[in-house]
Amino acid sequence: MVMTRLVIHIDKLVLRGIDRSDAAAVSAGVQAELQRLLAEPGAASALIAGGDRYRLKAGPVPSAPAGGRALGQAIAGGIVGGTRS
């Protein structure tokens, strides 16, 4: 079995119309959901197959999920979903 290391570095996340007080919750939601989604068997293969990437365009993110953490989870879903298109 070959182990491949996947490192995701989000340098900047721009969220227009989101209150600054929700920033920590959004960040926690993104991190937790990326870990959950990419821990599923085969889920990281699309990211790994693409090799090093300077930028990744996220897939659609539902507008205004309730709460910062839910928004973070939706963003993570968009990131992973964007690799499948």
Q: Walk along the chain (85 residues) and give the pLDDT tens digit of each residue.
A: 555 667 778 887 777 778 888 888 998 999 999 999 888 877 777 667 766 667 777 767 766 667 888 888 988 888 887 665 4
Predicted pLDDT at 13 = 79
Are the CB atoms for 65 and 74 separated by under 8 Å?
Answer: yes
Give CA separation, 63 vs 17, 27, 39, 55, in Å.
Answer: 11, 17, 26, 22
The pTM assigned to this predicted structure is 0.74
Are the CB atoms for 78 and 56 separated by under 8 Å?
Answer: no
Place of tokens 């197959």: 49
Predicted pLDDT at 64 = 62
Give CA–CA dist 60/40, Å, rounded. 21
Predicted pLDDT at 79 = 81
CA 58 to chain centre: 8
